[in-house]
Structure 1
Amino acid sequence: MKFNFGIFDGFFGKVFDKKTGGFVPSGKRKDIDYELEEGLKNIESEGHLVLEIKRNMDEIVVIYQRWVNKELEDEIDIAALIISKKGIWIPHPHMIVHREESSKSLHIADIKIKGDCINKGYGSLMMSHLLKKARNEKNEVYFITGVISSVDADHIDRLLHFYKKHGFLYRLDESITTGQLLWINDEITLTNEQIDIIFNQITFFGLKNTIKLA
């Protein structure tokens, strides 16, 4: 099955309930190796980069970074192509991260995982590659930030467990339904006072000001 990822996501996003997503039957039904081969061809042709291929008996998950050949990588988009005997899951789970060069930080703008894909480990697969990227760019990425918004209120415990598992610190506001998230690169040592200053700078759009560590 040959497809353009953007068009494919957009078209079938209209067919399925946007809140749940669903499987699109494959061209060669139940032949997941064929779909993997076709999927890898399309990932390469669209200018995306395969980061990991993970498989078990019933499913193959391809973690890939979208549009890595852009001149400026001010936005990082990591996605998961999920292939099973039921077909291909649409829309692809993905996370959007903005780079803030002035503060040497990355900011998690959104993680979109819908329906039956929730709590299946896809978020952790994507996050592990984001953290690997941050560690590899230790001189350019000191922090990863994010926010907890009121729309997360009904699953805040699950959300906090996810981020804590990946080494994030968090601060909740008085409402206990909103807050800030902070991951600090292993190469950086901060005092509690410096950490407090950074937390106070986190907004929906990243850090408000350049952070001076010296």
Structure 2
Amino acid sequence: MFLAPSAFERKEDKKKETLIAEFEDLEFQVFRMQENMKKIAKNWNILGIDQTKEEKWVIVYASDDGNVCKIMLHDCETPFDGSWDFSIHAQYDEHHQIHIDDIRGDENRGFGSICMNFLKEHALEQNISCIKGDIVKRDWGHIDRLIHFYEKHHFHVSIEQEKQHGMIYWQPSA
């Protein structure tokens, strides 16, 4: 098939326009990231930055008082107003383990995976022996999604269908 030179130029121009738009978006996200990091660092420990599956930059930060640990995330598309866009809330127990209490925020954006990876890294830094949690009746409306999420992150998942209860367990590999 033969393409006329004018058709080729339009395709090339579109690529250039797309690249320019992507660059401008990235430039804006980096600027917003700098501003958000200044605000977040005043009250929380910044753990790092990461990219979502849509290639959007996020800031991951923590609050940890030795009893309760929160791994939180804020996207770099909006100004930080003091609240997180996604978080994993957990508690330390007497056996030097972390128990996940709740996961909060929008689903299917990659935020959960980013926060879980940072929670696991944080656990390793704190010499935590395992991360565990319960799947309870209120979770049953999205149980398949939860099982997929935890198994993707190498958790052992145990489900009792008739009781609508389950447990999750992750231990660092030796």
Q: Give me the TM-score of the superposition, normalised by structure 1.
A: 0.61
Separation in 2 of the partners of 1:58 and 1:162?
20
User: 1:106 offset after TM fit, Å?
Assistant: 0.5
Q: Is the 8 A contact 2:36 2:76 kept in 1?
A: no
**Structure-2 residue corresponding to 1:106:** 98
Q: Which has the higher helix share?
A: 2
Unaligned runs of at least 5 residues, structure 1 = 1-29, 188-214
Structure number with higher relative contact order (C-alpha < 8 Å, ≥ 6 residues apart): 1
Q: State the alpha-carbon separation in 2 of the partners of residues 130 and 55 from structure 1.
A: 16
CA contact (8 A) 2:50 2:114 kept: no
Query: Could you list the runs of 5+ residues in structure 2 that have no partner in the other structure?
Result: 1-26
1:159 to 139, 146, 149: 146
Q: CA deviation at 1:88?
A: 4.7
SS in 2 for 1:103: coil
2:24 counterpart residue number: none
> Could you tell me which residue of structure 1 aligns to residue 123 of structure 2?
134
Instruction: Please list, as runs of the form range in 1=range in 2, the aligned pairs for 1:127-206 lying within 5 A after superposition.
Output: 127-138=116-127, 141-175=128-162, 177-187=164-174
Question: What is the total number of aligned residue pairs between the two structures?
Answer: 145
Aligned alpha-carbon RMSD (Å) = 2.3
Residues 90-144 of structure 1: CA distance to partner in whole angstroms, max 9, x if unpaired? 65211111011x2121100111013xxx111111111111111222333xx2121
**For the Cα contact (< 8 Å) 1:156–1:177, is it kept in 2?**
no
Q: Within 2, Cα distance between the matches of 1:80 and 1:49?
A: 12
AA in 1 matched with 2:121: K
Aligned to 1:49: 45
CA distance in 2 between counterparts of 1:182 and 1:59 reads 30
With over 3 angstroms needed to count, the CA separation of the structure-2 counterparts of 1:55 and 1:168, relative to structure 1, is closer
Larger Rg: 2
